């Protein structure tokens, strides 16, 4: 009978595949040494971001492991998209309560499938024993001086979002109810598509270089992330609620629930950006593969206001996701 597998055996079995460690442009040394070696092209800057997913906070224990792998990478890629960067390499740190081969096989499949799709090699990582947590660091590059920032928006700029909003929040509500009722998880359920399988808008981010004045990805909720952009830019914002593109799932809920999901729900990973009046939205939309919608404008002063179809101010909750809210 074979002995227990070591940390290095697990890495080799699930993450040491040719596709995971293949040498790509910019990767001088990948998995297998004490650290990876990456080369940034001349005239480019290095972009680095990290995100951690924790079981019970970002995904439920019975959620498909492939979706956890996909989401762990996609959430980081969305940060690269919001900076206008191109992927260069990824590093994965896994904390596991035990060795579960079925879970590891599913997780690695979801992670590596997305990595191959967007062309980002896994160049290193670490494994530890403890409560289940997934930490991913991704590195990218962007031409010097062309990185998108949260600061830079000006009064009069149009506020534009990609895709549709509220799908992930609707999926979370669906999953919370399912677990309360004791039902089985369905990885292919349309209700959970945005929650389980988010998409990072990398091509749009690249297309916004030298066009958008400011950008941010919607991970904590539209109003919360718009608030971050406005605070960094020193301006306010007006949002036209009827113009906000909503996920088709929201057609089945009340108007109040729809507003809560579309304005306050997080993890949609769409891009929100400020477009100057002289930039053609039609030309930009023609060059990317996702719908773009003007939802309002940047204003003088501070604060974010949401208006209805008659221009009347709506009283809506503006708080987005905060890991330490309401904790002692």
User: Is residue 138 situated within a structural domain?
Assistant: yes
Shared-domain flag, residues 50 and 122: yes
Q: Spell out the residues 6+ positions from residue 133 whose beta carbon is closer than 8 angstroms to its own.
A: 52, 53, 54, 55, 94, 95
Looking at the structure, tell me whether residues 303 and 174 fall in a common domain. Answer: yes
26 annotated ligand-binding residue: no
Is position 23 within any domain?
Answer: yes
Q: Domain for residue 327, yes or no?
A: no
Token representation of residue 10: 């697990």
Domain containing 225 — which CATH number?
3.90.650.10
**pLDDT, position 5:** 66
79 is in an annotated binding site: yes
Q: Is residue 319 part of a domain?
A: no
219 is in an annotated binding site: yes
List of residues 6+ apart from 216 with CB closer than 8 A: 82, 150, 225, 226, 228, 229, 271, 272, 273
* Last residue within a domain, chosen from 76, 108, 143: 143
**pTM for this entry:** 0.90
Q: In this structure, are residues 20 and 13 in contact, taking their beta carbons and an 8 Å threshold?
A: no
Residue 220 marked ligand-binding: yes
| 267 in a labelled binding site | yes
d(CA 126, CA 209): 34
- Please indicate if the annotation marks 125 as binding a ligand: yes
Residues 318 and 242: their CA atoms lie apart, in Å, by 17
pLDDT of 164: 97
State the CATH number of the domain containing residue 71.
3.30.1330.10
Do 64 and 138 lie in one domain? The reply is yes
Q: Which residue has the tokens 């301006």?
A: 235
Residues 167 and 299 in one domain: yes
- Residue 77: the pLDDT is 98
CB atoms within 10 A of CB 232: 15
Tell me: do 131 and 258 sit in the same domain.
no
Report d(CA 240, CA 306) in Å as an integer. Answer: 6
Instruction: Note the pLDDT of residue 22.
Output: 46
The number of beta carbons lying within 10 Å of the beta carbon of residue 201 is 24
Cα–Cα distance for residue pair 27/87, rounded to 1 Å: 11
268 is in an annotated binding site: no
User: Is residue 54 within a helix (H) or strand (E), and if so which, with residue range?
Assistant: strand 44-54
Of the residues 111, 143, 175, the one at which a domain ends: 143
Report the relative pairing of strands 122-129 and 158-162 from DSSP bridges. unpaired
Which among 143, 176, 209 is the end of a domain? 143
184 in the same domain as 137: no
Structural domain includes residue 153: no
217 labeled binding residue: yes
Q: Say how many domains are in the chain.
A: 2
Range of the domain at 104: 7-143
Whether 130 and 162 map to the same domain: the answer is no
pLDDT by position in tens, the chain (length 328): 344 566 777 777 878 754 444 446 778 887 777 888 988 999 999 999 999 999 888 888 889 999 999 999 999 999 999 999 999 999 999 999 998 999 999 999 999 999 999 999 999 888 899 999 999 999 999 999 999 999 999 999 999 999 999 999 999 999 999 999 999 988 888 888 999 999 999 999 999 999 999 999 999 999 999 999 999 999 999 999 999 999 999 998 999 999 999 999 989 999 999 999 989 998 888 888 899 999 999 999 999 999 999 999 998 865 555 443 444 4
Whether residue 154 contacts residue 233, with contact meaning beta carbons closer than 8 Å, is answered with yes
Any idea what DSSP says for residue 99? -
Same domain, 44 and 164: no
Question: For the chain, what is the radius of gyration of the CA atoms?
Answer: 21
**Residue 55 domain-assigned?**
yes
**202 within a domain of the structure (yes/no):** yes
Contact 133, 56 (CB under 8 A): no
Residue 322 CB contacts under 8 Å (≥ 6 apart), including other chains: 220
Are 230 and 123 within one domain? no
- Within a domain: 271: yes
Contact 147, 85 (CB under 8 A): yes
Same domain, 122 and 211: no
Say if residue 180 is in the same domain as residue 109: no
pLDDT for 26 equals 78
193, 235: one domain: yes
Q: What is the pLDDT of residue 186?
A: 86
């Amino acid at each position: 009978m074979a002995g227990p597998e070591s940390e290095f055996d697990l890495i080799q079995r699930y993450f040491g595949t040719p596709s995971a460690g293949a040498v790509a442009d910019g990767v001088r040394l990948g998995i297998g040494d004490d650290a990876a070696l990456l080369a940034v092209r001349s005239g480019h800057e290095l972009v680095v971001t990290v995100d951690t997913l924790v079981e019970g906070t970002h995904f439920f224990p019975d959620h498909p492991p492939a979706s956890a792998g996909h989401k762990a990478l996609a959430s980081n890629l969305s940060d690269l998209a919001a900076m206008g960067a191109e992927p260069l390499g990824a590093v994965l740190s896994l904390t596991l309560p035990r060795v579960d081969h079925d879970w590891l096989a599913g997780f690695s499949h979801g992670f590596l499938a997305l990595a191959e799709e967007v062309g980002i090699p896994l160049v290193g990582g670490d494994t530890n024993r403890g409560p289940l947590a997934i930490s991913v660091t991704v590195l990218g590059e962007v031409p010097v001086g062309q990185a998108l920032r949260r600061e830079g928006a000006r009064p009069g700029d149009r506020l534009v979002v990609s895709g549709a909003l509220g799908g992930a929040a609707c999926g979370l509500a669906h999953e919370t109810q399912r677990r309360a009722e004791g039902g089985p998880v369905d990885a292919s359920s349309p209700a959970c598509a945005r929650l389980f399988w988010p998409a990072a808008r990398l091509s749009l981010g690249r297309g916004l270089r030298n066009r958008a004045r400011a950008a941010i990805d919607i991970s904590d909720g539209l109003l919360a992330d718009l608030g971050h952009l406005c605070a960094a830019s020193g301006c306010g914002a007006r949002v036209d609620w009827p113009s906000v593109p909503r996920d088709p799932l929201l057609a089945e809920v009340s108007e109040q629930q729809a507003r809560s999901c579309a304005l306050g729900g997080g993890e949609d990973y769409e891009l929100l950006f400020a477009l100057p009046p002289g930039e053609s939205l039609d030309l930009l939309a023609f060059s990317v593969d996702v719908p773009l919608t003007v939802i309002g404008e940047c204003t003088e002063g501070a604060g974010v206001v949401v208006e209805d179809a008659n221009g009347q101010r709506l009283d809506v909750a503006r708080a987005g996701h905060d890991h330490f809210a309401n904790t002692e």
